[in-house]
Amino acid sequence: SLSKLQLKTGDLDPRLFSRLRHLQKLDLSDNLLDKFPNSLTLPDLRVLNCNNNKLEDVTALKQFPLLEELTYENNVYLTLNDDYKVMFLLQNLRLLNGKDITKLANHVRRVNSRKLTSKVTAHWEKFFRDQLPEKYTAEQVKSIKKKFLKSVQTNVVYGPSSLSEFTRWRVKMIAEEFLAYSLGLELNTDPEPEEKMDENEEESTESPREAAEDVAQVGDFSSYINNVTVTPSKRKRNNSKPGSGNKRSKAQADTEEEAEDVSAEPLHFLQCHSKGNSREDFKTQLWSCVFEPLLDCGARKDPIVSSSRTVATCGGESVCLIDCETGTVLKKYKVATEEFFSVAWTTLTMVISDSRKKSHNILVAAGRRGIVKLIHVAADFCYGEIKAHKKPIATVCFSPTRETHLFTASYDKRIALWDIGIPDCDYNFKASQLLVLEALAIPLRIALVPTCPDQYLLAGCEGGCFAWNIKLDKEQKSRPFEAIFQFPDEDGGMTTSHRVDGLAFLNDDVVVSKSSKPGCIYLWSWSRSFDAKGKGCQRTVSAVILAELEWSMTDLSYLTLSTCPGRQH
């Protein structure tokens, strides 16, 4: 045991360690190690603990081939990609951070490797084989190798985008092995930094069909929770066309011509929010479910899969972090007297103790007590709270342009904008209220207008749909709403008074809103409904409706409506 000795990497002397031929267990937890020296040897090492260090890379662990148990929790720079790397590199590994990974590791070593190998080979055959003349010089080989390695790491994708760094690492390895085998090239065994793609470079040379096939292999959250076959139908209005929004491929346009059958099988059933973990508790309701943002999107930023496979959920007295692929509850945060209604993510650039800046995901959770909890997930630490409202908070959301700006919508009929600040290395932070928006009814859902997220906010409320000007250069700290929207009522007229309990943007212009009563979901145009140059406050405007989707006539309120703008779903 070499735990809690303030050890740095330079303190691990290979000349000393290489003499420990029969050492089987080593505890290096609670030190300051940022990496492992490459030549520690330790040929018989079976159990290694390096919790609470500053490790940035795991590839040096391949020097311990007999390793069976490995733990490296609370190394904030290590990610899911590193878990997959050690599963591939250490063939005898059974337990990783206390979890049995035998099944997943076999999948990584066999299925994942097989799929990637076939994709790498296909990429060579399609784009590069014909570029190499029958008689080639060393210089030509060197040039084509460089191009091929760069292209294959950019264009071969497989699995969830949260694993893109692992995939690029494996693809490079497989591609080098393939070239060594096919062209007799020397294999490069020295690790070198991965090439990052230039912002302006071409992203992909594959056809839309290939891209679609790759995307089709990645499940989204709906495939885990739905067990239904749906045939959506659309009732058109005024023959008006939706705003241009995102460009769509021909394939997407074709599927819009006919109703699309969606059949999804559930993968996992989780009951992780029930009181006292009781199987009998079916009363605790699940209120919010939000995917964690990716800290490293890698070279391919796929608009369709722009999140990780980790999701935060809240309900009852707990917030859970779940790995959707394995169905594992990774972390659980509980407050005995709370009922959580909403969670939201932001990514803050924080200074860690060694004065290096690094991006970290922060989760906020709020609910019945009107208090916002601030959680640094990687560190398993709730570092603070903001007493935001005296009544319950229905929903929260972050500004897409200012990572510290948080909106909280409360039963006190107010929406507040907060600057949550950035915590320092001791987690000291300063939060301040920037704005209060006055509503006529309880706000249930809020959405920032994508084309001007610093200027307008929309809210679906118990008594209608409202818009506010949220520009911060105005003097007013407290503001009334700027517009209330009218929708068709059951008698053929127009009404402002109905509960809007579902609200989201489908693209830059099209708003999707649902009301539990009228039995429909409306698609309407923000730009055609709301004239930003219009004079006067608290004016009534008619929503310009583009389409009406069937929705069940139900008294069950608050079912969440969410959109996937990448696919216009």
Looking at the structure, do residues 558 and 451 belong to the same domain, yes or no?
A: yes
DSSP state of 163: G
- Is the pLDDT at 188 greater than 60, yes or no? no
Q: Which among 38, 67, 97 is the end of a domain?
A: 97
Looking at the fold, whether 459 and 547 belong to one and the same domain comes out as yes
**Residue 476 included in any domain:** yes
End residue of a domain, out of 43, 69, 97: 97
Place of tokens 């309407």: 524
Same-domain check for residues 87 and 127? no
Task: Please count the structural domains in the chain.
Answer: 3
The enclosing domain of 21 has a CATH number of 3.80.10.10
Q: Print the domain residue range for 473.
A: 444-568
* Residues 135 and 42 reside in one and the same domain: no
Do residues 88 and 147 both lie within one domain? no
Arithmetic mean of pLDDT over the chain: 81
pLDDT tens profile 82-93: 999 999 999 999
How far, CA to CA in Å, does 381 sit from each of 52, 332, 362, 387, 471?
14, 11, 10, 18, 33
Cα–Cα distance, 203 to 437 (Å, whole number):
42
Pairing verdict, β 510-515 and 371-376: unpaired
pLDDT tens digits along 453-475: 999 999 999 989 999 999 998 77
SS3 195: coil
Give the CA count within 13 Å in the CB-facing half-sphere of 197: 22
pTM value? 0.57
342-381 confidence digits (pLDDT tens): 999 999 988 866 677 888 999 999 999 999 999 999 888 9
Whether residue 61 lies inside any domain: the answer is yes
Do 157 and 81 share a structural domain? Answer: no
**Residue 126 carries which DSSP code?**
I
Among residues 51, 73, 97, the one where a domain terminates is 97
Domain identity same for 142 and 79: no
Say if residue 87 is in the same domain as residue 158.
no
> pLDDT value at position 458?
97
123 and 49: one domain? no
pLDDT of residue 23: 95
Reported as a single tens digit per residue, the pLDDT across 485-504 is: 998 887 778 888 888 989 99
CB atoms within 10 A of CB 320: 22
Average pLDDT over residues 107-116: 88
| Residue 91 shares a structural domain with residue 108 | no
**pLDDT at position 30 over 60:** yes
| Residue 249 is assigned to a structural domain of this protein | no
Residues 27 and 60 in one domain: yes
Q: Decide if 238 is inside a domain.
A: no
Residue 394 domain-assigned (yes or no): no
The mean per-residue pLDDT over the stretch 97-112 comes to 90
Q: Are residues 448 and 562 in the same domain?
A: yes
Indicate whether 256 belongs to any domain.
no
Q: What is the pLDDT of residues 548-568, one digit of tens each?
A: 888 777 667 777 888 887 778
Tell me the pLDDT band of 439, cut-offs 50, 70 and 90. very high
363 closest CA partner among 324, 413, 308: 308
The answer as to whether 356 is a domain residue is: no
Identify whether 202 is part of a domain. no
